[in-house]
Every structure is written in C-alpha cells, then in structure tokens.
C-alpha cells in the first residue's frame, strides 16, 4: 500500500468512526429524552412541566456527553503524546536499534527481510518519527485526536436526537402525545439501527431489533412509573 493510499484509508476510517459516534450520540439522545418526557407525560398533562423536564434532560444529557467525551479524548491524546515523546527519545538515543525494530515490524507484515530493511531505511530517512508512529504505534503525528471536536460532536448529535421526542411530546394534543412520541421514537431508532449496522457491517435486523427494543422498554418503564407517581 502506498503512503497516499494509506493516508486515504486512514482518513476514511476516521470519518466512519466520527459518523458512527454521531449516530450513537443521537441514539442516546433519542432514548434518554424519550424515556424522560414519556415518564413525565404519564404523571401530568401539563405541557409546561413536560417541556421543562425535556429541555432540562436535553441540556443535562448533551453537556454530560460533551464533558465525558472531552475527558476521554483528552486522556487518549495525552497518551498519544507521551508515546510519541518516548519514541522521539529512543530515536535520538538508539537509532540503530530503532531501525532494526522497524525492519522487524515491516518483515512481520509480509515483506522479505531485504525489502523490509530497504523500506525501513527509506522511511527513516524521510521521517523517522512518523514511520515509527504509524507502523509501531498506529498514530499519525499530524492528526492527534482533538477533544474539543469530540465534545462538540457529542453535544450536537445528542441534541439533535433529543429534539425529536421533545417536539413529539409537546406539539400534539394531550391525548395523542404518548402515541405520537412512541411512534416517532421507534421510527427514529429503526433508522439509527439501520445506519449503525451499515457502518459497522453488522446484520441490520439484529441491530434494529436491539435498538427498538431498548427504546420501547425505556419508554414503557418510565411511563409506568410516571403514571404510578401521578396517580399517588
């Protein structure tokens, strides 16, 4: 594989990972907010109360997702930087040993010993740190993960997903709120399941069933609890 082909492959993989994370974030927003507003709707018919609970749940969930993603990706970036620092120090202190190590790794990927040595020498002459980072660590030094991007993506995807059940519960008349919300949520979860299955190369029917079943159970439980609390 040429360097440009490898870069394109890595770029496509990164985009798919971000898209998959966006779908999962929207899925979380749909299920958590749907469970919340359906539960409140089981306890009261007050549109103001349902809207207040839904907006609060949307904001809390989105900010929580963003903060969690920021912390997680920051830790990953710190680990990548630490690994690159170690590699940079080893290249400065033990260049021959590092060249031999790169040769061994390339040979382990199917190259002949002679070709692996030649490739290792050429990669080292071009950019030793980049070569070791990509082959040994699986890191592109120019494209370290960005915690702010991850946090923003999580916040936006969760918000988009949460808006669907929130609008579905507050716009209809009281008698139609829960049925409309359940129908809209199950349709959205079906779509999310299909997209996530396609991105992950998994069977679509199984992914959709898991998604829809999880959302249905969440809404059923919270509605039952809300109805019980409202009745007492």
Q: What is the pLDDT along the chain (232 residues), one digit of tens a residue?
A: 444 444 555 555 555 566 667 788 889 999 999 999 999 999 999 999 999 999 999 999 999 999 998 998 899 889 989 988 988 898 888 888 888 888 888 888 888 888 888 888 898 888 888 888 888 888 878 777 788 888 898 899 999 999 999 999 999 999 999 999 999 999 999 998 888 888 777 788 988 999 899 999 999 999 999 999 988 7
What pLDDT, on a 0 to 100 scale, did the predictor assign at position 1?
A: 43
What pLDDT, on a 0 to 100 scale, did the predictor assign at position 198?
A: 83
The Cβ of residue 193 has, within 10 Å, a number of other Cβ atoms equal to 25
Using CB atoms within 10 Å of the CB of residue 55, give its burial: 0 to 12 exposed, 13 to 18 middle, 19+ buried.
middle
What pLDDT, on a 0 to 100 scale, did the predictor assign at position 218?
A: 93
Radius of gyration (Cα) for the chain, nearest Å?
25
Residues 6+ apart with CB under 8 A from 178: 38, 41, 42, 169, 223
């Amino acid at each position: 594989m040429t360097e440009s082909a490898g870069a394109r492959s890595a770029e496509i993989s990164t985009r798919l990972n971000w898209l998959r994370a966006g779908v999962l974030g929207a899925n979380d927003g749909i299920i958590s907010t749907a469970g919340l507003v359906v539960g409140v709707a089981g306890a009261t018919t007050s549109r103001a109360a349902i809207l207040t609970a839904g907006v609060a749940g949307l904001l809390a969930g989105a900010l929580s997702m963003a903060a969690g993603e920021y912390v997680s990706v920051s830790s990953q970036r710190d680990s990548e930087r630490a690994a690159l620092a170690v590699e940079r120090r080893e290249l400065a202190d033990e260049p021959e040993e590092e060249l031999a190590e790169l040769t061994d790794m390339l040979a382990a990927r199917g190259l002949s010993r002679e070709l692996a040595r030649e490739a290792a020498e050429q990669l080292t002459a071009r950019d030793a740190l980049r070569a070791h980072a990509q082959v040994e660590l699986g890191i592109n030094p120019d494209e370290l993960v960005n915690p702010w991007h991850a946090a923003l993506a999580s916040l936006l995807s969760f918000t988009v997903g949460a808006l669907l059940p929130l609008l579905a519960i507050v716009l209809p008349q009281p008698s139609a709120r829960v049925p409309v919300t359940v129908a809209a949520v199950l349709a959205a979860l079906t779509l999310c399941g299909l997209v996530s299955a396609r991105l992950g190369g998994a069977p679509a029917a199984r992914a959709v069933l898991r998604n829809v079943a999880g959302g249905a159970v969440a809404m059923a439980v919270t509605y039952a609890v809300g109805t019980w609390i409202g009745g007492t």
